[in-house]
């Protein structure tokens, strides 16, 4: 996998043979990469529309792999009355969950220094759907890389695949980023129904107050998580995403 540390035997000045793959600290299956420190999960303010459902799928996959998480909302230059409220609410909710949230615009250079600082001395994987601007942001941080970029389709409002393989890129010093192909779907392989709540920080903090210690925060009575949704202390859309993921994982568990 990209990111693996290996032992090689040199067979020439620029050639070698891999003799052994060293144990991995962690790995992701989508995108396929190992030994990363941080996931920078990207969404766009608009073009393509902000997809918080896919964003949460990527976040919990990164949580399950034990990665640090930074959330980046790109294309802030496209902010308008329709998208401003959505961005403000999402930003506040994710910050309250303890995530580092950065607002950027690759077009005008907004937030690039903050993003650069978040990447400093780390191996970071950039993950998100096609068209959110992963390659464009990397080009702004390191213009010499000249990664291929493409505009979002006016007809479908979806991004075009410009990155076709996973690649480890050096920015400066010990800062590396993994540019990945965009995707529209992500399986939740390797996540159990009993561990799902632990991957939502705000639910994890509340579940100790549930009547049942093994509460799944679904049909159980006297559930602190469901109470928090009713009082507005837990974002309804985050809870809805949790329930959707729980149903999906349980259906897989029945099969296996």
For residue 39, being part of any structural domain is answered with yes
* Claim to verify: residue 231 and residue 124 sit in the same structural domain: no
Q: Is the backbone of residue 31 left (phi > 0), alpha (psi -120 to 50) or beta?
A: beta
Provide the pLDDT for residue 150.
Answer: 43
User: Cα separation of 25 and 149, whole Å?
Assistant: 31
**pLDDT, tens digit, 9 for 90 and up, residues 172-226:** 888 998 877 655 556 788 899 999 999 999 999 998 999 999 999 999 999 999 9
Shared-domain flag, residues 171 and 203: no
Residues 155, 51: one domain? yes
60 & 140 share domain: yes
Burial class (CB in 10 A: 0-12, 13-18, 19+), 173: exposed
In a domain, 234, yes or no: yes
Tell me, yes or no, whether 47 and 155 share the same domain: yes
Cα–Cα distance measured from residue 70 to residue 38, given in angstroms and rounded to the nearest whole number: 7
- What residues contact 72, with CB distance under 8 A and at least 6 apart? 40, 41, 42, 43, 101, 102, 103, 104, 111, 115, 137
The rounded distance, in Å, linking the Cα atoms of 78 and 105 is 9
Examine the fold and report which residue of 150, 179, 208 is the final residue of a domain before the chain moves on: 179
Mark which of 154, 179, 204 sits at the end of a domain: 179
Q: Is residue 236 part of a domain?
A: yes
* 54 and 137 inside one domain: yes
List Cβ neighbours of 116 (8 Å cut-off, separation of 6 or more): 141, 171, 175
Is the distance from CB of 139 to CB of 146 less than 8 angstroms?
Answer: yes
Examine residue 190 and state whether it is found in any structural domain, yes or no: no
Q: CB burial class (10 A; 0-12, 13-18, 19+) of residue 167?
A: middle
Is there a single domain that holds both residue 203 and residue 164? no
> What's 130's domain CATH number?
3.40.50.300
Listed residues 114, 147, 179: the one ending a domain: 179
Asked if residue 3 belongs to a domain, the reply is no
On whether both 91 and 127 belong to a single domain, the answer is yes
Q: Is residue 9 part of a domain?
A: no
Measuring CA to CA, which residue among 166, 200, 169, 194 is closest to residue 180? Answer: 166
Boundaries of domain holding 242: 196-255
Residues 147 and 222 in one domain: no
Instruction: Tell me the pLDDT tens digit for each residue of 52-103.
Output: 999 999 999 889 989 999 999 999 999 998 899 999 999 999 999 999 999 9
Q: What is the pLDDT of residue 133?
A: 86
Phi, psi of 72 (to 5 degrees): -120, 120
* pLDDT-derived band at 162, boundaries 50, 70, 90: very low
Answer yes or no: do 158 and 248 share one domain. Answer: no
Does residue 158 share a domain with residue 96? yes
Residue 12 lies in a domain: no
Lowest mean pLDDT of 36-45, 121-130, 140-149, 186-195, name the range.
140-149
Give the domain CATH number at 209.
Answer: 1.10.40.50
- Of 130, 80, 124, the closest CA to residue 102 belongs to 124
Query: What phi, psi does 225 have (nearest 5°)?
Result: -70, -45
Number of domains into which the chain is organized = 2
Which of the two residues, 144 and 179, has the higher pLDDT score? 179
Q: Which pLDDT score, from 0 to 100, does residue 145 have?
A: 65
Residue 11 forms part of a structural domain: no
Query: Does residue 174 sit in the same domain as residue 204?
Result: no
Task: Please name every residue paired with 100 in a beta bridge, in sequence order, or none if there are none.
Answer: 70
């Amino acid at each position: 996998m990209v990111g693996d540390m290996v032992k090689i035997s040199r067979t020439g000045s620029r050639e070698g043979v891999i003799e052994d793959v060293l144990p991995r600290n962690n790995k992701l299956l989508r995108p396929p990469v190992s030994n990363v420190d941080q996931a920078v999960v990207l969404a766009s303010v608009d073009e393509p529309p902000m997809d918080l459902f896919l964003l949460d799928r990527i976040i919990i996959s990164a949580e399950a792999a034990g990665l640090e998480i930074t959330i980046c909302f790109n294309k802030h230059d496209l902010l308008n009355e329709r998208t401003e409220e959505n961005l403000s609410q999402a930003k506040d909710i994710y910050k309250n969950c303890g995530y580092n949230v950065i607002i950027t615009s690759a077009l005008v250079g907004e937030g690039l220094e903050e993003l650069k600082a978040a990447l400093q001395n780390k191996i970071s994987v950039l993950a998100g759907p096609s068209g959110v601007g992963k390659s464009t942001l990397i080009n702004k941080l390191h213009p010499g890389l000249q990664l291929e970029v493409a505009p979002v389709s006016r007809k479908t409002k979806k991004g075009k695949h410009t990155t076709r393989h996973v690649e480890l890129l050096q920015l400066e010093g010990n800062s590396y980023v993994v540019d990945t192909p965009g995707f529209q779907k992500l399986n939740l392989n390797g996540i159990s129904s009993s561990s799902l709540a632990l991957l939502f920080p705000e639910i994890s903090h509340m579940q100790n107050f549930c009547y049942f210690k093994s509460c799944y925060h679904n049909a159980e009575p006297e559930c602190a998580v469901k109470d928090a949704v009713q009082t507005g202390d837990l974002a309804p859309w985050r809870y809805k995403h949790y329930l959707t993921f729980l149903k999906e994982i349980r259906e897989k568990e029945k099969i296996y």
